[in-house]
């Protein structure tokens, strides 16, 4: 079924709602960007520079007093923070599984004491 053309369509030769585009798109203006602000060095006389006392410990100084808090103790097997010490070997441990490992494998009279002493040597101590 053919559609009937209206009078405006017959005159213009196109549909009334059809949008017409310009032949060429408008030019977009080129934007110029400003240079970023750079600060200039200021000459400050030596008399106005702040006086720094080198005897006071600061974030940048290496020499600081000893810590007031006690040193943390770490598990000799896992490296976690240790709350317990095994009485026979002197090894520090963090939980019951590690205690079971120490009692089973490191307290054997023939080879266990040698292994336990190796763990103590890594820490820098030895069992007397």
Domain extents in the chain:
71-128
pLDDT confidence of 52, banded at 50, 70, 90? low
State mean pLDDT over 68-74. Answer: 91
pTM listed for this prediction: 0.47
Residue 106 vs residues 87, 100, 128: alpha-carbon distances, Å: 12, 10, 16
pLDDT score, position 83: 94
State mean pLDDT over 87-100. Answer: 92
Summarised one tens digit per residue, pLDDT across range 8-35 is 555 555 555 556 655 666 676 676 666 6
pLDDT score, position 118: 85
Neighbours of 24 (CB within 10 A): 6
């Amino acid at each position: 079924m053919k559609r009937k053309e209206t009078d405006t369509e017959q005159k213009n030769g196109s549909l009334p709602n059809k949008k017409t585009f310009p032949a060429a798109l408008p030019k977009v203006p080129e934007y110029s960007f400003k240079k970023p602000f750079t600060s200039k060095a200021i000459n400050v006389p030596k008399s106005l520079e702040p006086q720094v006392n080198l005897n006071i410990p600061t974030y940048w100084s290496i020499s600081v007093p000893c810590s007031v808090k006690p040193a943390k103790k770490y598990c000799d097997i896992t490296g976690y923070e240790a709350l317990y010490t095994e009485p026979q070997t002197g090894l520090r441990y963090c939980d019951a599984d590690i205690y079971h490992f120490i009692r089973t494998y490191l307290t054997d009279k023939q080879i266990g004491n040698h292994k336990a002493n190796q763990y103590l040597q890594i820490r820098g101590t030895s069992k007397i």
